[in-house]
Amino acid sequence: MTKTENNILLFSITLCWAASYIFIRNLPPDFSSYAYLTLTCGIAAIILSAAFAGKLKNLRKKTWVRGFWLSAILSVNLLLEKKGISMLDPANASFLAALTIIAVPLLQWFFHKRPTLNHMVGAIIILAGLCVGSGFSVRGFSGLGTAYMLGGCVSSAVYTIAVDGYAKEEDPLLICIVQMIFTALTGFVLWYRENPDTFFGLEYTRELLSNIFILAFFSKAYAYIALMFSQKYTDAISVTVIASTEPVVTLVLSLLLPAAYGGGQAFLASSAAGAVLIAFGAVVAGLSFLEDWGK
């Protein structure tokens, strides 16, 4: 896979995740997030297993173990973010969640993998863009909610770095399928603890099923397969940099989509300025001119 192909793939994941908020918004307000996790990951696992059934015979014990760890990290991330979001203002929560752009290079530094000067400068510009665009309040950061969100951010960084290692040694399809199976099982256990009726406690409308299928297909099956593939051919920081452009994609989507489907939102100058800074930061991080200049 060439670098351009890889960047296209990463950008499409960002597009999927940015668009998924439209469908999550369409779910009933009392819809359990564990039910969401079980159903979307479960359907994604079934679709992927059916489409690539021939490859399943190559599953090894090591892949199962690695897939299990990835799903465990992802579940911890989800639970911490869920707690944090419930305690914080949305703008503050979204800003803290985006700090992965700093957490990934810091963690890698810890493991003696020094980020390039372009990566560091780009990350700082992206962070500035997030500060400008998210409109958070400094007072809103106190309390346990921030700690949960920072925990979520670190677990997200650990996930990115773990995928970076595993994807290079494993078949991206297989590890993704295993991860989906374990995440669906984890979601189901949590869902059962919350409401023992689980599947029987839901009211299945056509709209609910549509949204669940869409989310399963795009934000789980497609996005995670694409993530595993791209991480096979690139590094964790590049993945984080492109993922950090999500606010830019969200802004564009809100301008393009009809109001009924989550678009048509007010266009704020601060959001536009933040988006420009993030895009500029991503470009700086993706190039190497500062390294060349220093030589």
Partner 1 sequence: MKTGKQKQFFIVLAVFLILGISFKVMVLVEGLTEVRPVNAIPPVAGLLCGPVGALACGLGNLIADLAGTFSLNSVLGFIGNFMAAWLPYRLWYLLSEDAPNLHSGKNIFRYCFICLLGAMTVAWILSFGLYLLQGTWLRQIYTYVFFNNIGFSIGLGMPILIVLTSDSVGIQGCNAPERYRFLESGFGKRTVLPVYAGLMILLWVAVEVLERNPEGSPWMLAVSVPAAAGLFLLSV
Contacting positions for partner 1 (CB under 8 A): 1-2, 4-5, 8-9, 11-12, 15, 47, 50-51, 171-173, 206-207, 209-211, 213-214, 217-218, 222, 225-226, 229, 232, 258, 261
Of the pair 15, 158, the CB lying nearest partner 1 is at: 15
Asked if residue 184 lies in contact with residue 41, where contact means CB atoms within 8 angstroms, the answer is: yes
What distance in Å separates the CA atoms of residue 295 and residue 22, rounded to the nearest whole number? 47
- Evaluate whether 182 touches 68 at the Cβ level (below 8 Å): yes
* Smallest separation, CB 41 to partner 1 (Å): 16
Measured between alpha carbons, how far is 156 from 99 in angstroms, rounded to an integer? Answer: 10
Residue nearer to partner 1 on the CB measure, 120 or 221: 221
**How many Å apart are CA 91 and CA 86, to the nearest integer?**
12
User: Which residues does 260 contact at the CB level (< 8 Å), separation at least 6?
Assistant: none
What number of residues does the chain have? 295
51 or 255: CB nearest partner 1: 51
Structure-token match 């096979």, residue found: 232
The token duo for 253 is 């989507």
Distance of CA 52 to the CA centre of its chain: 24
95 vs 218, which CB is nearer to partner 1? 218
Name which of 9 and 35 has its Cβ closer to partner 1: 9
As measured in angstroms, the least distance from the Cβ of 280 to partner 1 is 22
Nearest to 131 by CA among 263, 237, 244: 244
Fill in the DSSP letter of residue 6. H
Toward partner 1, which CB reaches closer, 2 or 137? 2
User: Which residue lies nearer to partner 1 by CB, 50 or 266?
Assistant: 50
CB of 18 to partner 1, least distance (A): 11
- Residues 6 or more apart whose CB falls under 8 angstroms from that of 188 comprise 34, 38, 42, 198
Helix (H, G, I), strand (E, B) or coil at 114: coil
Contact 237, 119 (CB under 8 A): yes
Shortest Å, Cβ 125 to partner 1:
26
- Minimum Å gap between C-beta 214 and partner 1 is 5
> Least distance to partner 1 from the beta carbon of 58, Å?
11
CB of 33 to partner 1, least distance (A): 21
Residue 109, token pair as written in the block: 């530094």
In contact, 25 and 262? CB cutoff 8 Å: yes
For partner 1, the closer of residues 68 and 213 by Cβ is: 213
